[in-house]
Structure 1
Amino acid sequence: MARDFYEVLGVSRDADPDDIQRAYRRLARQNHPDVNKDSGAEERFKDIAEAYDVLSDPEQRRRYDAFGEDFRRVPPETDPAAWRQARAYADAGAGARGGWSSGSGSSRGFGAGDFGDGVDIEDLLGGIFGGRGRGGWGPGRVPGSDHEAEVEVSVEEAYGGTERSLTINGPDGPRTLDVTIPAGVVDGQRIRLRGQGGQGSGSAAAGDLYLVVRIADHPRYRVDGRDLHALVPIAPWEAALGASVSVDTPGGVAAVKVPAGSSSHRRLRLRGRGLPDRHGKPGNFYAELQIRVPGTLSAEEQRLFEELAKTSTFDPRSRP
């Protein structure tokens, strides 16, 4: 993680969940690869999705606030205050000529017994910096690496959740995992499967597997963050007179009220009918009107349209 998650979303560290969601939705719309063709947009979108995934989850946010970029690797029972103190000693020791001592009698750097207040840097930092702590690295004890894989879901599956059977290739051959994809995932979101990454050596812990969600292109819906967009065909008389039309959404059929005098490309919002969000407000569904005319006309339809053409003073090409 090269950047601070709060910086990625442009919010303060005390931002509330609504502020975080608003920032995410704004940035996701600006940087979605389907909208923004800039060469760096896709990478920025991934950073934005990861930042939101962490900061919108109360437990992950708490750990991130406590441990920073190491929050995924620090053991759950670690005390944040002791961790910060150990990191401070580690940073100081790394800058001292001679580095860390492997024993308590060294005259340079810091050794395992140099704290004087009961804090053992090797216990706290062994798993990350290679010390001999109980859960860290050491002879024959190397924690497993984290792995990453992509999983593709449809818009309907992103809306309602789904399950996947994934085949993961490892040193001991392929293995199958049954994975639950929660409702309301967004494109680029990362799902953590604890302990399903690379195997550690000796008795060291396994790494984690991170699934990156990709929402497949859909013939009817366009996804923009948690918002969904769809074209809704209407007849010329429905556009002129107003009407109530049915619209298919991932959550079921919804009624859309078309105001009288509507033109093509007018967008009508169905609040909360987009992708759900288990940590906040759901997205919206936007119905974009598209006026269609009959391909062939009956004799009566032909007469009525000709009469309308003679009677109407409307000029669609005149400026309002």
Structure 2
Amino acid sequence: MAGTRDYYEVLGISRGASADEIRAAHRKLARKYHPDINKEDDASEKFNEIQEAYDVLSDQEKRAAYDQFGHAGAQASGHPGGHAGQSAAWSQVDPETFESIFGDMFSGGGFSGGRSAGAGPFGGGYQQPRQQPSKGGNIDHEITIPFTTAVEGGTQSVRMRSADGELESIDVKIPKGISDGAKLRVKGKGGPGAFGGPAGDMIIKVRIAPHPWFRKEGLDLVIEIPVTITEATLGGSIKVPLLSGTANVRVPAGCSSGRRIRVKGQGITDSKGRTGDYIAIIRIEAPDRDDLDKKDVDALESMGERLKNPRAGEPWFKD
């Protein structure tokens, strides 16, 4: 049951309940379902569920993690999850609740006979086990950054909820040349630690927003460049855009669509100093038929009759 039901539902309280309301609800239910008092078959299971809910909601850090991330957040903040045995259940009951449950079993309605608040009703004592500090769990987060930030590096503001439940903004350093899907670690911004332990880390998965005309292939900066049939046939120098400014690229004569023109060392430089290439992919744009006059059409038809059929070399071609 634990780990599936809402902790607020288990205690029968609202999500805005105060610490006193949480404590009162727990005391009432603990009296009702403690297995040393209630002999129903499911009393032990219900009691453990109540204790688990109280353990989280009575702790400010655990409650904040639970409110933000649900049961996964409670576990990341140090709550082990699952049911403990009956002896472990005793260790979670505070002395005031303990006396509330068993006080009427002893004379005077309270603890007597030299019993301390830590004594069990059947002799002996119970002790809260000593808990070792443990680091909080990691929290996964995903952000999308502009294309230029991925290429040039920079910082990205990330909105997150702190361990006390407050929204805060942190600046995450983005190394230049970062790849789509890369993960960054921000130390101390994960789930809260338990028993004085340090907070976990936030693991940020980086997504890169598309650029209007560039794309990134590793450290290569890639762009499709439309050219006329004249430029593709005769070759020439064309102006192409860079991330900042422009440059001239030489189109070789007889260039086909899909050909890649590579300019060495003009791509993206990463944080380790490695640099990729600038790659222009040729896309031949045929003119619209309505834009051609009779002389243009006659010239193209004449050229088509004289030139070799480009399909003639294909194994499936039949004239």
TM-score by length of 1: 0.51
| Aligned equivalent of 1:149 | 141
- 1:175-214 per-residue CA deviation (whole Å, 9 max, x = no partner) reads 2112232221111212222222223234432222222111
SS in 1 for 2:311: coil
> Which of 174, 183, 189 is equivalent to 2:176?
183
Aligned mates of 2:133, 2:291 — CA distance in 1: 82
Tell me the percent identity.
34
- 1:258-300 per-residue CA deviation (whole Å, 9 max, x = no partner) reads 001101111111223333212242222321101112225556x
The alpha-carbon distance between structure 1 residues 186 and 311, as it changes in their structure 2 partners (threshold 3 A), is closer
Aligned mates of 1:156, 1:231 — CA distance in 2: 18
| Aligned equivalent of 1:162 | 154
| Aligned equivalent of 2:312 | 318
| Aligned equivalent of 2:66 | none
Aligned mates of 2:300, 2:277 — CA distance in 1: 37
Residue identity opposite 1:190 in structure 2 = K
Aligned mates of 2:274, 2:174 — CA distance in 1: 19
**What is the Cα deviation at residue 148 of structure 1?**
2.1
Q: Equivalences for 1:232-251 in 2 at 5 Å?
A: 232-251=225-244
| Contact 1:267 1:288 (8 Å CA) reproduced | yes
Q: Equivalences for 1:215-234 in 2 at 5 Å?
A: 215-234=208-227
Q: Equivalences for 1:258-269 in 2 at 5 Å?
A: 258-269=251-262
| Contact 2:184 2:204 (8 Å CA) reproduced | yes
| Contact 1:159 1:250 (8 Å CA) reproduced | no
SS in 2 for 1:145: coil
Aligned mates of 1:200, 1:255 — CA distance in 2: 57
Residue identity opposite 1:151 in structure 2 = I
Q: Equivalences for 1:269-308 in 2 at 5 Å?
A: 269-295=262-288, 302-308=294-300
Aligned mates of 2:250, 2:162 — CA distance in 1: 54
Q: Which structure 2 residue ranges, 5 or more long, are not aligned?
A: 1-129, 315-319
Q: Equivalences for 1:53-202 in 2 at 5 Å?
A: 139=131, 141-173=133-165, 174-202=167-195
**What is the Cα deviation at residue 140 of structure 1?**
5.4
- CA-atom RMSD in angstroms: 2.5
- 1:209-239 per-residue CA deviation (whole Å, 9 max, x = no partner) reads 2221112233423333333332110011101
- 1:13-70 per-residue CA deviation (whole Å, 9 max, x = no partner) reads xxxxxxxxxxxxxxxxxxxxxxxxxxxxxxxxxxxxxxxxxxxxxxxxxxxxxxxxxx
Aligned mates of 1:276, 1:209 — CA distance in 2: 27
Aligned mates of 1:162, 1:172 — CA distance in 2: 29
Residue identity opposite 1:160 in structure 2 = E
- 1:105-151 per-residue CA deviation (whole Å, 9 max, x = no partner) reads xxxxxxxxxxxxxxxxxxxxxxxxxxxxxxxxx72522122222111
| Aligned equivalent of 2:207 | 214
Q: Which structure 1 residue ranges, 5 or more long, are not aligned?
A: 1-137
Task: Report the more deviating stretch, 262-271 or 276-285.
Answer: 276-285
Aligned mates of 1:210, 1:254 — CA distance in 2: 39
* Alignment size in residue pairs: 182
Aligned mates of 2:303, 2:159 — CA distance in 1: 68
SS in 2 for 1:309: helix
The alpha-carbon distance between structure 1 residues 298 and 214, as it changes in their structure 2 partners (threshold 3 A), is closer
| Aligned equivalent of 2:49 | none
**What is the Cα deviation at residue 308 of structure 1?**
4.2
Aligned mates of 1:148, 1:309 — CA distance in 2: 62
Q: Equivalences for 1:21-36 in 2 at 5 Å?
A: none
The alpha-carbon distance between structure 1 residues 156 and 302, as it changes in their structure 2 partners (threshold 3 A), is farther
TM-score by length of 2: 0.51
Residue identity opposite 1:145 in structure 2 = G
**What is the Cα deviation at residue 244 of structure 1?**
1.2
